[in-house]
């Protein structure tokens, strides 16, 4: 099963590099999605010249930030901001980044936070934080207590969360989810989210040929508040992505092993781990990338064949945006 998963991931990445389709791949903590929608719906503006595809996309107030790559042989990476008021692109200076392979982006009213593959975290143009060796930032969150949470993982999918003072950037606490969950041998973490004061850890293990996914709800005090076992007993395929939708439910996406264009989307209530809905969707091409979601109108946005669509699970439909 691991060989199959590795093969499909290799095919996915290879197809991505040699395609002309544009997409984004990052965890999204989008603060104000309507500006993103205004950009997509009212301005058919092409990507900055030479940019092959977007890696990360985030939005705050009247600005959209995206990072991208320009070449397949000698990649050059950029970060642009798009002002939805005057409809202009501006290149953001990332010369200060010690590593320009960007793994996560986030912003609020005062900060632009960029995580790099080498574990550096750049805030407003300065490398402020450095994660443990081998770790890279996967997502950023903020708490009401002015804390910055950095979710990170290494090549072995060992996830942790560092909690910093969001003004002084002093490390206040650290959570190692492998230790907290006390996993059985052979259990891997697929992803970690932070919502409403708790961490949601999605794990995976195999019992023979059967895949078992558990959901752990972990408090900031490093205790397991609840554990929901075998949450997707009949879903086939390999893990693609997870996100919170507009109803505040956790959605987990699996891609079919036999047909890479087929995605299964399971919607879960994290309070009891029950499956609220399940959807199966067929997309045209394997170069469908990771998802940007809107709590306002769509469950997520995605790129396909050079167009941007919104997916509305309530009506089980795709809506072409631009």
Tell me the pLDDT tens digit for each residue of 197-230: 999 999 999 988 899 999 999 998 999 999 999 9
Please tell me which residue, 203 or 58, carries the higher pLDDT value. Answer: 203
299: Cα separation from own chain's centroid: 14
pLDDT band at residue 191, thresholds of 50, 70 and 90? very high
The reported pLDDT for the residue numbered 161 is: 97
The Cβ of residue 169 has, within 10 Å, a number of other Cβ atoms equal to 13
Do residues 282 and 262 touch, judged by C-beta distance below 8 A? yes
φ/ψ (deg, to 5) at 190? -90, -40
Percent of the chain with pLDDT over 90: 36
Percent of the chain with pLDDT over 70: 68
Please tell me which residue, 63 or 90, carries the higher pLDDT value. Answer: 90
In the predicted model, is pLDDT for residue 6 greater than 70? no
Helix (H) or strand (E) holding 214: strand 210-219
The reported pLDDT for the residue numbered 267 is: 94
pLDDT band at residue 321, thresholds of 50, 70 and 90? low
Please tell me which residue, 310 or 275, carries the higher pLDDT value. Answer: 275
How many residues make up the chain in this entry? 322
Give this prediction's pTM: 0.75
pLDDT band at residue 77, thresholds of 50, 70 and 90? confident
Q: Give the three-state DSSP class for 33.
A: helix
What digits encode the pLDDT tens for the residues 147-165? 999 999 999 999 999 999 9
What is d(CA 298, CA 312) in angstroms, rounded to the nearest whole number?
5
Mean residue pLDDT across the chain: 77
In the predicted model, is pLDDT for residue 60 greater than 60? no
Span 110-139, average pLDDT: 91
pLDDT band at residue 84, thresholds of 50, 70 and 90? low
Q: Is the dihedral of CA 240, 35, 136, 51 positive or negative?
A: positive
The reported pLDDT for the residue numbered 131 is: 95
Which residues have a Cβ under 8 Å from the Cβ of 280 and sit 6 or more positions away? 262, 263, 264, 265
φ/ψ (deg, to 5) at 201? -110, 120
In the predicted model, is pLDDT for residue 266 greater than 50? yes
Q: Give the three-state DSSP class for 7.
A: helix
Span 14-30, average pLDDT: 34
Please tell me which residue, 313 or 3, carries the higher pLDDT value. Answer: 313
């Amino acid at each position: 099963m691991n060989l199959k998963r590795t093969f499909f991931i290799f095919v996915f990445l290879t197809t991505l590099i040699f395609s002309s389709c544009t997409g984004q791949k990052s965890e999204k903590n989008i603060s104000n999605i309507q500006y993103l929608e205004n950009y997509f719906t009212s301005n058919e503006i092409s990507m900055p010249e030479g940019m092959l595809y977007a890696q990360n996309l985030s939005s705050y107030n009247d600005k959209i930030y995206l990072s991208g790559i320009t070449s397949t042989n000698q990649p050059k990476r950029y970060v642009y901001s798009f002002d939805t008021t005057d409809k202009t692109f501006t290149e953001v200076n990332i010369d200060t980044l010690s590593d320009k392979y960007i793994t996560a982006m986030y912003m609020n009213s005062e900060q632009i936070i960029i995580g790099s593959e080498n574990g550096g975290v750049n805030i407003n143009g300065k490398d402020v934080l450095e994660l443990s060796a081998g770790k890279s930032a996967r997502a950023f969150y903020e708490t009401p207590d002015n804390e910055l949470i950095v979710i990170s993982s290494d090549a072995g999918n060992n996830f942790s969360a560092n909690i910093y003072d969001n003004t002084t950037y002093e490390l206040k606490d650290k959570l190692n989810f492998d230790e907290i969950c006390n996993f059985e041998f052979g259990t891997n973490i697929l992803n970690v989210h932070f919502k409403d004061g708790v961490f949601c850890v999605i794990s995976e293990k195999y019992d023979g040929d059967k895949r078992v996914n558990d959901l752990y709800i972990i408090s900031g005090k490093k205790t397991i508040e609840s554990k929901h076992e075998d949450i997707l007993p009949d879903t086939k395929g390999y893990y693609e992505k997870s996100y919170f939708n507009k109803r505040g439910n956790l959605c987990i996406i699996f891609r079919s092993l036999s047909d890479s264009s087929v995605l299964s989307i399971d919607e879960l209530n994290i309070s009891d781990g029950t499956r609220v809905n399940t959807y199966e969707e067929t997309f045209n091409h394997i170069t469908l990338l990771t998802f940007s979601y809107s709590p306002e109108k769509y469950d997520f946005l995605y790129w396909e064949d050079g167009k941007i669509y919104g997916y509305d699970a309530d009506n089980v439909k795709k809506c072409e945006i631009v």
